[in-house]
A and B are shown apart, each in its own frame.
Chain A
């Protein structure tokens, strides 16, 4: 009985020691991995900062204006291109075949249903 207990005790201690040893090395490994990851993440943060700066640099209004001038047919928006719903002729909404042939009427109908694309750029109601 006594001997058994001793043997079991020694076995348990050996087992525990081994487990502890193992765990310790696992933790070592994990720590090394964590440090590597931390460094990688820090480097990643640094590149994000760099890319943000780069993005801001590339979005320089002067550069964009130059690119738009060279590659696009677009021109800056001027006031004459902004119209409000009141600028369209008001028409009756009777479903008659003749009136819908007129372009102005069609515009008015589109707007009448609540389509807001015409005034998409507005954030301020006209004074």
Chain B
């Protein structure tokens, strides 16, 4: 067919082209246009065919991506788990009730009916909210399925539900101050929820899984229970407690009583939201002597053999320093610590000197706010360098005149006994392969001596109630009078115990602080740290020791003249697998 056409055309062409006045017949024009259009279509089809081949044969298909798209709804806020992976905070879908007031027939009736389902709603207030000419108002958010069913049953037109994610804390009060809480719009308002809000945002969390805290929920539970028991037994105002990993600075448990339920943060007692463990700052009393002796031993201002005359109360300007457990004789350095002599500690501090004492306290982290992942961090109180007089040096030696938060004290004491390296505290689990970066604050030798002294306090001194069979506990008690109007209040005490175990190669630090405990029959009427906080700390250690996988050690032999504790167990050497 084509052949004919071509032949014919050529034949016609040779015959007629050179004839003047000849015009191409329309059929010719049409044919060449047809060819052009055909060529165009051919080109397009070739492109399409090529594209088809490319999509089907040459490229990886998009199907795998398409099939998973839309499977997971975007998580509004990341989960939080404890160090063993137990869920502490998550988001659950709940329904929230809203109303379209334009469609509500009788606002008063609707409000009364709703108040029957939600007794906490105020009828007048709901009615006012339902009255105006709007098309959307929230009535109540975060309903339980049962509540939702009851609202359905009311059959009021104009009420509808919208499903929302709501932050849920399965363990309620446990670790409430660590977690903090988030509001209905999933914004963190306190604790880790606020401090690490950025990390919990969905875009970040989708990639890295849940946020793992350093908290061990079992330890948290034990500490909470023992503190609550102590608060009850000594009718204290409140309590704060900490268990920290001495080598890594991780906080295993942090308790502040009274506490709150993060699922209902505003429902409990007003004081419950206050975090005594990090935000509260207190004059710690005798536990501070740990720092005084550590700086004396490290700087060489004193040695284990140094003697201090504590026969007479000490007079500094218009103040008189007295001993609570007065011995009225010359005390050795270990005895100053053992009997918690204020006079001895004051003299040691004067030997160290104000300038050096300030430097050491700063190195121990007692003069600046600590850095932690939660916003509730208290700013310590101390005299400014220009206000600092000799009397301040003397009182700071036994823990008055400088107020710090319990966590701050724990971090400093951990540095004193762990070989002399201050590890920054953290509430987030450290990866086991992460290098430990601390700053040396005292020598390993001074640290070893301090461990020995702390062991003596529990073996023979004021901390004997913290002794636990099977675990060698070392520690220091403290009893401070709280400041009231016009001076210190003798009856309002802050009793504390800071301890570590096993003290020859410390792994964990336990700090117990009771706010205004009152003596009972069991404590023979005493409300001091040795009688109230130390037994609680001992019970905590007895319970968490096996939990944390620490094998009991044989009792250490205490000899005042020759320290028997393990030689400089520096950081890293006694790092155990966890």
Contact = CB atoms under 8 A, between A and B. Distances in A.
Interface of A: 34, 38, 41-42, 45-46, 49-50, 52-57, 59-62, 65, 76-80, 82, 84, 119, 121-127
Contacts of B567: none
Contacts of B221: 61-62, 65
B397 interface: no
A123 B576 contact: yes
Interface string B378-408: 0000000000000000000000000000000
A53 B166 CA distance: 12
Contact of B87 (A56, A61, A65): A56
A122 B550 CA distance: 7
Interface in B170-221: 170-172, 174, 217-218, 221
B545 A56 contact: no
Contact of B549 (A61, A65, A121): A121
Interface string B537-578: 000001101110111110000000000001000000010111
B99 to A, nearest CB: 26
Contacts of A122: 549, 551
Interface in B67-81: 67, 70-73
14 contacts: A34-B67, A49-B91, A50-B93, A53-B90, A59-B86, A61-B217, A79-B546, A82-B551, A121-B549, A123-B577, A123-B578, A125-B551, A126-B552, A127-B553
Interface of B: 67, 70-73, 86-88, 90-93, 168, 170-172, 174, 217-218, 221-222, 225, 468-471, 502, 504-505, 507, 542-543, 545-547, 549-553, 566, 574, 576-578
Instruction: Determine the main DSSP class of B at the interface with A.
Output: loop
Instruction: Determine the main DSSP class of A at the interface with B.
Output: helix
B469 A79 contact: yes
Given A53-B90, A123-B576, A60 B171 contact: yes
B137 to A, nearest CB: 27
A77 B549 CA distance: 11
Nearest to A76: B543
A53 B87 contact: yes
A50 B70 CA distance: 19
A121 B547 CA distance: 9
A60 B172 CA distance: 9
Contact of A82 (B222, B225, B546): B546
Contacts of A124: 507, 549-551, 576-577
Given A79-B470, A127-B566, A127-B574, A52 B87 contact: yes
